[in-house]
C-alpha cells in the first residue's frame, strides 16, 4: 500500500501563485513569514506522514468500540492526539488572547489537507472542535470564552456541534430537543441528537457540545431555536449527556458517529435566544470549507495511490508500440486511458487546492476588523464560492477516489491495497454538512438568484479582468478566450433559469445540481488559468529553477481545458431540460 | 430497510415490447408460451423475494469464513442453494440432452436480474457455473459433457473460470500456470490463480474449475494458452487444488473470492491445444452480459430503496407551495432534485432492462443451427452491443447506487439502511470481466474501427429505419428526430476518431471510454424510443387496460431525452479533446 507523501511543491506553488506571504502581511499576521510558513509545513508534513498516515488503515479495520456509553478509538489514535496537542497544532490558527498562536486561519486550512489525506477519520476529532470554537468566539460571553474556549484552543478538550435529530437533518426547523430554564440561569436539555461526529471518545478529558434546542416559549419552526453549551463534564462532574450508541457506517470507521442522549443535561445559552440558526450560519461556511478539504484530501490520496501503481504494474503493449522491450509488457501508465484517469485526479486535486486556498484568503480578509470594499468583496465571494467548493470538490473527490480504484483493476476492490477505503471514506463528504443538492439550492437560490445575480456578476467581471490581463502572455490566449466565453455563458444561463423560475419555482430545484457542477468546472477553469499564468510568469525569469514543474502545471491546465472542461456542455444542456419531465408524474405513479 | 419486490409489470412490458413469446416460437422454444413464462416469472419472484432477499444483508455482515482450505458461506446460503437446485432453477435454460429444461437462454437472462437484485453475492455461486457449462457444451468431448456438464446443469456441482494470476488480469498472455502432460493423457496443473469467484464454498459437493494454463512446448504469450478441466474432487477423491485464502473486499462479502493453488492438480485438456483464449471468447459475451445484469439489478434495487424512503421522509416545503398542510414538512419526493435522482435511476433501470433483454434475444438467435442473415446480424449486434451494455450499464448502475444513497442523506451512509451495501456490492461490476476501459477499447478498436464501422453502420441504419416507422405516431416525432440526428452524429464521431487514429493509435485509447459512454446513452435512447412506441401503440387500443403505466413509460422516456441524453454533448466534446494532453507529459513527470 502506498504511503501518503505531502505534496509540498504543489502546495508552495499555489501559495506563490496567491502571493501568500504578502497576504499574511496585509492582514497583519506579521509572523507568518515565508520561512515560518515553510517550517510549519515541514513539521506538519512530518507528523502527518509519520504518525497519522500509518494509522489510517488501522482505524478502518478496528473502528471505534462502544461499551456502555464509552467509546474507545482505534489503536494509536489517542497517542497521536496527545502528541498533536503537545506539538501545539490545535492552537496554530487561533487568536493569541485565547491561547492561540495567531497564525492566519488560511494557514490552518492548508494544514487541514495534510491531516485529511493522511487520516481523515482521525483528523475529524480535532476538526470538529472548530465549530464549537467558532461559535464560542463569536457568540460566547467573556466568561464562556474563558471557561470553554481556552481548553478547546489548547486541544485539552474537544468540541462538537449537535444539530441533527432522527426526524430532521436539513430541515432543522423540525427539531424537538427541549431546553427548560432553571432558576440559576442554566437550562435542562432533553432530547436525542444523532450523527454527532466525535460526540464521545477517549482522546481528550472533556467534550463541549454546542446543542441546538428549543425553549418552551419559543415559536415552532426555525425561528424558535437557540444554541446551548453542554459540557460532558461540568466542573469535573458527569453531566446528564450520554452516548447511546455509535453508528455502523460505510467508512470513516475510526471516527465515532454518536447518538447523544441529553437527559436533563445542564446547558448554558450562548448567543441570543431564538437566534440559534443565525448563529449557526457563521459556523456553516467554515464547516463546508473543511468538508471541501476532505474532497481535496481524497483526490490527492487517490492520485498518489493510483500513480504509484500505474508506474509499477505492467499489462499489454502501448498502442503506439512497445515502450519496455526488455519486459514482457509495458507499464500501464503508458496507456492513454490510464493517463486520462490519472490526469483527471491530478487536475482536480491541484485545481481544488487553489480554490480552497483562495477561500482561505477570503476568510482571513472577511474577518478583518476594518470593514471596507475588500472585506465586503471577500465576504460576498466566500458566500458564492463556498457551496460550489463544498459540493463540487466532494463530488469530484468521489470521482477521483473511484478512478483511483479503477486504475488498480480488480485489485482496487481488495482491502489490502487501500484504494477501496478511500472510496468509502470519501462517500460521506457529499452527504454531511449539507448534501450536494442542498449546497446547490443554496448557491442558485440564495447566493445567486436572491440578489439577481449581482455577486455572480462581480465575480465573472473579475474573471474577465484577469483574462484580459493574462493575455499579455500570448500562450495564455486560448485559456483566456475560452474562460471569457464560459463566464459569459454562465451569466446567460443564470438569467435563463431566473426567468423560468419566475413562472415556476421548481425550476430552481430542478436545475440546481447541474448548475452547481457547471459553476464548479468554470471556477476550476479560472483557478487553472491563474496557475498557468503564474507558471508562464515564472518561466519568463531566465533564472527560473523549477522549469519542469512549471511546464507540467501548464500541461495539466491544458488537459483540464481539453478533456474535463467540456463537461460543462452536457451539464448545461441537461439543466436546460427544465422541470417539466421531473414534475409531471404524481408521487404514487413512481 | 426496504425489501426487494420483483418489478413484474416492468418486466412484462419489455417482454411485450420485444414480442417475446413470438420470439420463443421463432427459435423453436415452443414450450415457452405466455402462460409458461408468466408462471416461471412468478415462481422466480417468489423465491427471490422470500428466500434470497432476506439473506442479502446477512451475507454482507457475516461474509464468508475461511478455515484451512475450506470456505463456509453465510447463514442460510446453503439452504437457499439446496432449495434452488430442488426447484430446478439451474437447469432452466440448459439443453434437454444434458438434463436441462430447454427454455431459451434469454429467459435465464430475465431471471438473473431477479436473483441479482435480491442477493447478488449469492446469485454469483450459480451464475459462475455458466462459464464452465458454456465451455463444456461448446468444446467438451462427449465423455466430458457426460461427466462434468450434467452435474453442473442439475446444480449438483458448480463451476468456475480460473483466468487471473497475480501478475496478469487483462493481459492473459502473461500467465504462468503450467500444464505438464502425463502418460495417461491427463495433465498436472501447477500455478496460482487469484480472484476466483466461488472457487471454494460449501454449497455443492464438487466444483469444476476451467483453468487457463500453458503446456511446456507452447509458445509464449497469448497463443500458447490451453484450457483444462480441473475438478475439486476426482471420482470422489481430493484433487491437488486447494483454496489458499479468500480476499477481504469492499463488498459482495457473501461470495468467496478465492486464491486457488494448483499443486500438481490433475486436469484434462478441453478444446484444441493453444487455442484456450479463442475458446474463452465464446464465454466472454455471456459473462459480460451477466455483469451488465448486475448493473441492472443495482439500478432496480437502489431505485426501490430510495423511492420508498422518498415517499416516507419529510423535509422542507416544496418550492411551489405546501403539499402536505397537515404535516410539519412535505415528503421529499415533492422536491424536484429528489425526483431528478429517482427518475435517473428509474430511466436507467428500465432502459437497461430493455437493452439486456434485447441482447438475450440476439444470443438465442445467434445460436440457431441454421445460419443465415438473421443469425449473422444477431451475432454482429451482440458483438457491438455487449461491451456497451457491460460497461455502460455497470457505470450507470454505480451512479444509480450512489444516487440511491444520496436520496437518504446522511442515513444513506449508515449500514442498517442497506443503501451503502448496494454501492459497495455494485462497485466491482465496472472492474471484473474486463474493466470499463477494456470494454471501451474492445468496442472502439475491435468492434467498430477494425471493420471500418460496417457493423455500427448496419446498427445505426436499423435505428433510422425504426425512427421513420415510428413517426406514423405523431407524438413519436420529437424522439425520432433527436435519435436520427444522434445516430448520424455517432457515425460522424466514429469517422473522426478513425481518421485521427490512422496517424496516432493512442487516439483510440484516449477517446474510447467517453466514446463508449456516448454510445451507451445513444443505445439507451433507442431502447427508450422503442418502449415509447410500444406504449403509444398500446394506448391506441381503446380497450387498453394499463393506461397509467403506459403514460408513465412515455413520461420516463421524456425525462430520459430531456435530462439524461444531453450528457452525450459533454462526452463528445471531451473525447474530441484527443490524446495530445494525455501523452505530452513523460511518465516520471507525473
Is residue A209 included in any domain, yes or no? yes
* Contact state of B555 with A587 under an 8 Å Cβ cutoff: no
Q: Are residues B147 and B166 in the same domain?
A: no
Residue B28 grid cell: 423453436
Q: What percent of chain A has pLDDT over 70?
A: 100
pLDDT for A78-102, tens place per residue? Answer: 999 999 999 999 999 999 999 999 9
Contacts of B507 in chain A (CB under 8 A): 336
Residue B540 sits in which domain range?
Answer: 442-580
Question: How would you write B478-520 as a 3-class SS string?
Answer: HHHHHHHHHHHHHHHHHHHHHHHHHHCCHHHHHHHHHHHHHHH
Contacts of B510 in chain A (CB under 8 A): 336-337, 340
Split at pLDDT 50, 70, 90, the class of B428 is: very high
Q: Check residue A281 and give its pLDDT.
A: 79
Mean pLDDT, to the nearest integer, of A43-51? 98
Q: What is the DSSP letter of A368?
A: -
* Chain A stretch 297-316, residues whose beta carbon is closer than 8 A to a beta carbon of chain B: 307, 311, 314-316
pLDDT for A551-566, tens place per residue? Answer: 999 999 999 999 999 9
Mean pLDDT, to the nearest integer, of A447-471? 97
Sequential DSSP letters for B402-438: HHHHHHTGGGGGBGGGSHHHHHHHHGGGGTTTS-HHH
Residue A169 pLDDT > 80, yes or no? yes
* Contact state of B247 with A414 under an 8 Å Cβ cutoff: yes
| Whether A192 contacts chain B with CB within 8 A | no
Determine the residue of chain A that is closest to B339 in CA distance: A582
User: Based on the number of CB atoms within 10 Å of its own CB, is B225 exposed (0-12), middle (13-18) or buried (19 or more)?
Assistant: buried
Contacts of A168 in chain B (CB under 8 A): 315
Q: Check residue B565 and give its pLDDT.
A: 98
Question: Count of H helices and E strands in chain B?
Answer: 19, 11
Is residue B225 included in any domain, yes or no? yes
pLDDT for B362-398, tens place per residue? Answer: 999 999 999 999 999 999 999 999 999 999 999 999 9
Decide: A221 and A293 in contact? Cβ < 8 Å: no
Mean pLDDT, to the nearest integer, of A56-65? 98
Is residue B48 included in any domain, yes or no? yes
Split at pLDDT 50, 70, 90, the class of B283 is: confident
Is residue B217 included in any domain, yes or no? yes
Annotated catalytic residue A433: yes
Split at pLDDT 50, 70, 90, the class of A336 is: very high
Residue B352 pLDDT > 90, yes or no? yes
Q: Are residues B28 and B60 in the same domain?
A: yes
Give me the CATH number covering residue A77.
Answer: 1.10.540.10
* Contact state of B587 with A333 under an 8 Å Cβ cutoff: yes
Mean per-residue pLDDT of chain B: 97
CA distance A569 to chain B (A): 5
Give me the CATH number covering residue A208.
Answer: 2.40.110.20
pLDDT for B458-504, tens place per residue? Answer: 999 999 999 999 999 999 999 999 999 999 999 999 999 999 999 99
Is residue A93 included in any domain, yes or no? yes
Question: How would you write A412-465 as a 3-class SS string?
Answer: HHEHHHCHHHHHHHHHHHHCCCCCHHHHHHHHHHHHHHHHCCHHHHHHHHHHHH
* Chain B stretch 108-137, residues whose beta carbon is closer than 8 A to a beta carbon of chain A: none
* Chain B stretch 327-356, residues whose beta carbon is closer than 8 A to a beta carbon of chain A: 328-329, 331, 333-340, 342-343, 346
CA distance A337 to chain B (A): 5
Q: Check residue B106 and give its pLDDT.
A: 97
Q: Are residues B185 and B271 in the same domain?
A: yes
Residue A46 pLDDT > 90, yes or no? yes
Question: Which sign does the torsion angle of CA B73, B75, B79, B80 carry?
Answer: negative
Residue written as grid cell 424522439: B479
Mean pLDDT, to the nearest integer, of B19-41? 96
Of B151, B171, B186, the residue at which a domain comes to its end is B151
pLDDT for B174-197, tens place per residue? Answer: 999 999 999 999 999 999 999 999
Q: Are residues B146 and B161 in the same domain?
A: no
Contacts of A590 in chain B (CB under 8 A): 307, 311, 333, 342, 346
Q: Are residues B113 and B200 in the same domain?
A: no
Mean pLDDT, to the nearest integer, of A432-442? 97
Mean pLDDT, to the nearest integer, of B5-24? 97
Residue B563 pLDDT > 90, yes or no? yes
* Contact state of A552 with B431 under an 8 Å Cβ cutoff: no
Paired strand residues for B72? B65
Q: Check residue B281 and give its pLDDT.
A: 80
| Whether A428 contacts chain B with CB within 8 A | yes
Residue A283 pLDDT > 80, yes or no? no
pLDDT for A401-423, tens place per residue? Answer: 999 999 999 999 999 999 999 99
Residue A38 pLDDT > 80, yes or no? yes
Q: Which member of A248, A420, A574 has the closest CB to residue B414?
A: A248
Decide: B512 and B441 in contact? Cβ < 8 Å: yes
Determine the residue of chain B that is closest to A589 in CA distance: B552
Of A256, A274, A292, the residue at which a domain comes to its end is A274
Q: Are residues B24 and B140 in the same domain?
A: yes
Q: Are residues B186 and B268 in the same domain?
A: yes
Q: Check residue B320 and give its pLDDT.
A: 93
| Whether B161 contacts chain A with CB within 8 A | no
Q: Are residues A147 and A13 in the same domain?
A: yes
* Contact state of B562 with A571 under an 8 Å Cβ cutoff: no
Is residue B212 included in any domain, yes or no? yes
Give the mutation candidate from B410, B412, B561 for the A interface (greatest A CB count, under 10 A).
B410
Split at pLDDT 50, 70, 90, the class of B285 is: confident
Q: Check residue A285 and give its pLDDT.
A: 83
Q: Are residues B545 and B465 in the same domain?
A: yes
| Whether A197 contacts chain B with CB within 8 A | no
Of A274, A297, A320, the residue at which a domain comes to its end is A274
Contacts of A510 in chain B (CB under 8 A): 336-337, 340
* Closest CA relative to residue B128, chosen from B51, B244, B213, B207: B207
* Contact state of B563 with A581 under an 8 Å Cβ cutoff: yes
Domain total of chain A: 3
Residue B464 grid cell: 433510422
CA angle A349, A353, A356 (to 5 degrees): 135
Give the mutation candidate from A167, A169, A319 for the B interface (greatest B CB count, under 10 A).
A319
* Chain B stretch 506-535, residues whose beta carbon is closer than 8 A to a beta carbon of chain A: 506-510, 512-513
Give the mutation candidate from A220, A341, A413, A419 for the B interface (greatest B CB count, under 10 A).
A413
pLDDT for A286-317, tens place per residue? Answer: 899 999 999 999 999 999 999 999 999 999 99
Q: Check residue B447 and give its pLDDT.
A: 97
Is residue B340 included in any domain, yes or no? no
Is the interface score ipTM higher than 0.90? yes
pLDDT for A523-541, tens place per residue? Answer: 999 999 999 999 999 999 9
Q: Which member of A169, A316, A571 has the closest CB to residue B170?
A: A316
Q: Check residue B137 and give its pLDDT.
A: 94
Give the mutation candidate from A1, A339, A398, A583 for the B interface (greatest B CB count, under 10 A).
A339
Cβ pairs bridging A and B (under 8 Å): 259
Stated length of chain B: 590
Q: Check residue B122 and give its pLDDT.
A: 98
Q: Which member of B174, B320, B334 has the closest CB to residue A504?
A: B320
* Closest CA relative to residue A121, chosen from A302, A252, A292, A301: A252
Is residue B470 included in any domain, yes or no? yes
* Spatial CB neighbours of B268, under 8 Å, sequence gap ≥ 6: B144, B185, B186, B187, B228, B229, B230
pLDDT for B238-271, tens place per residue? Answer: 999 999 999 999 999 999 999 999 999 999 999 9
Q: Are residues B13 and B58 in the same domain?
A: yes
Q: Are residues B450 and B576 in the same domain?
A: yes
Question: How far apart, in Å, are the Cα atoms of A83 and each of A65, A86, A110, A156, A159?
Answer: 22, 5, 20, 11, 18
Measured between its terminal Cα atoms, the distance across chain A in Å is: 45
Residue B544 pLDDT > 80, yes or no? yes
Q: Check residue B1 and give its pLDDT.
A: 82
Q: Which member of A250, A338, A585 has the closest CB to residue B552?
A: A585
pLDDT for B303-349, tens place per residue? Answer: 999 999 999 999 999 999 999 999 999 999 999 999 999 999 999 99
Split at pLDDT 50, 70, 90, the class of A586 is: very high
Q: Are residues A142 and A179 in the same domain?
A: no
Residue B282 pLDDT > 80, yes or no? no
Sequential DSSP letters for B221-253: GGGGEEEEEEESEETTEEPSEEEEEE--BSS-T
Amino acid at each position: 500500500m502506498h504511503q501518503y507523501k505531502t505534496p509540498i511543491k504543489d502546495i508552495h506553488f499555489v501559495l506563490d501563485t496567491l502571493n501568500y506571504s504578502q497576504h499574511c502581511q496585509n492582514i497583519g499576521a506579521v509572523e507568518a513569514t515565508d520561512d515560518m510558513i515553510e517550517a510549519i509545513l515541514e513539521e506538519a508534513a512530518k507528523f502527518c506522514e509519520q504518525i497519522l498516515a500509518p494509522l489510517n488503515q488501522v482505524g478502518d479495520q478496528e473502528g471505534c468500540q462502544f461499551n456502555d456509553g464509552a467509546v474507545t478509538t482505534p489503536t494509536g489514535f489517542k497517542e497521536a492526539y496527545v502528541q498533536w496537542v503537545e506539538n501545539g497544532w490545535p492552537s496554530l490558527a487561533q487568536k493569541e488572547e485565547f491561547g492561540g498562536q495567531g497564525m492566519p486561519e488560511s494557514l490552518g486550512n492548508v494544514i487541514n489537507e495534510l491531516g485529511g489525506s493522511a487520516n481523515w477519520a482521525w483528523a475529524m476529532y480535532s476538526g470538529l472542535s472548530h465549530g464549537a470554537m467558532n461559535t464560542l468566539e463569536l457568540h460566547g460571553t467573556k466568561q464562556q470564552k474563558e471557561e470553554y474556549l481556552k481548553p478547546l484552543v489548547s486541544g485539552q478538550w474537544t468540541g462538537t456541534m449537535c444539530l441533527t435529530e432522527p426526524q430532521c437533518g436539513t430541515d432543522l426547523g423540525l427539531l424537538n430537543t427541549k431546553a427548560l430554564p432553571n432558576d440559576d440561569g442554566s437550562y435542562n436539555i432533553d432530547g436525542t441528537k444523532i450523527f454527532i461526529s466525535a460526540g464521545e471518545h477517549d482522546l481528550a478529558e472533556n467534550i463541549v457540545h454546542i446543542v441546538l434546542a428549543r425553549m418552551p416559549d419559543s415559536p415552532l419552526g426555525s425561528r424558535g431555536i437557540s444554541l446551548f453549551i453542554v459540557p460532558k463534564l461540568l466542573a469535573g462532574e458527569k453531566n446528564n449527556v450520554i452516548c447511546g450508541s455509535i453508528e455502523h457506517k460505510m467508512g470513516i470507521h475510526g471516527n465515532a458517529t454518536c447518538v447523544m442522549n441529553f437527559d436533563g443535561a445542564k446547558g448554558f445559552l450562548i448567543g441570543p435566544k431564538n437566534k440559534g440558526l443565525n448563529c449557526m450560519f457563521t459556523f456553516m461556511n467554515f464547516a463546508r470549507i473543511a468538508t471541501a478539504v476532505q474532497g481535496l484530501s481524497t483526490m490527492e490520496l487517490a492520485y498518489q495511490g493510483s500513480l504509484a501503481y500505474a508506474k509499477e504494474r505492467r499489462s499489454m503493449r502501448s498502442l503506439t508500440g512497445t515502450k519496455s522491450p526488455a519486459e514482457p509488457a509495458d507499464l500501464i501508465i503508458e496507456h492513454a486511458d490510464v493517463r486520462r484517469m490519472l490526469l483527471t485526479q491530478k487536475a482536480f486535486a491541484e485545481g481544488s487546492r487553489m480554490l480552497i486556498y483562495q477561500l482561505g484568503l477570503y476568510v482571513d480578509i472577511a474577518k478583518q476588523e476594518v470593514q471596507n470594499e475588500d472585506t465586503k468583496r471577500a465576504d460576498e465571494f466566500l458566500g458564492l464560492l463556498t457551496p460550489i467548493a463544498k459540493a463540487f470538490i466532494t463530488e469530484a473527490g468521489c470521482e477521483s477516489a473511484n478512478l483511483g480504484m479503477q486504475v488498480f483493476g480488480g485489485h482496487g476492490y481488495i482491502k489490502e491495497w487501500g484504494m477501496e477505503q478511500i472510496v468509502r471514506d470519501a462517500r460521506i463528504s457529499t452527504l454531511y454538512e449539507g448534501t450536494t443538492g442542498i449546497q446547490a439550492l443554496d448557491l442558485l437560490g440564495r447566493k445567486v438568484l436572491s440578489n439577481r445575480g449581482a455577486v455572480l456578476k462581480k465575480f465573472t467581471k473579475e474573471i474577465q479582468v484577469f483574462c484580459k490581463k493574462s493575455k499579455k502572455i500570448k500562450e495564455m490566449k486560448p485559456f483566456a478566450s475560452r474562460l471569457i466565453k464560459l463566464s459569459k455563458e454562465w451569466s446567460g444561463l443564470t438569467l435563463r433559469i431566473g426567468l423560468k423560475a419566475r413562472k415556476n419555482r421548481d425550476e430552481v430545484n430542478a436545475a440546481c445540481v447541474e448548475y452547481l457542477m457547471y459553476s464548479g468546472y468554470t471556477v476550476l477553469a479560472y483557478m487553472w488559468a491563474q496557475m498557468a499564468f503564474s507558471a508562464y510568469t515564472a518561466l519568463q525569469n531566465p533564472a527560473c529553477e523549477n522549469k519542469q514543474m512549471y511546464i507540467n502545471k501548464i500541461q495539466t491546465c491544458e488537459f483540464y481545458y481539453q478533456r474535463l472542461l467540456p463537461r460543462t456542455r452536457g451539464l448545461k444542456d441537461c439543466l436546460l431540460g427544465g422541470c417539466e419531465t421531473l414534475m409531471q408524474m404524481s408521487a404514487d405513479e413512481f
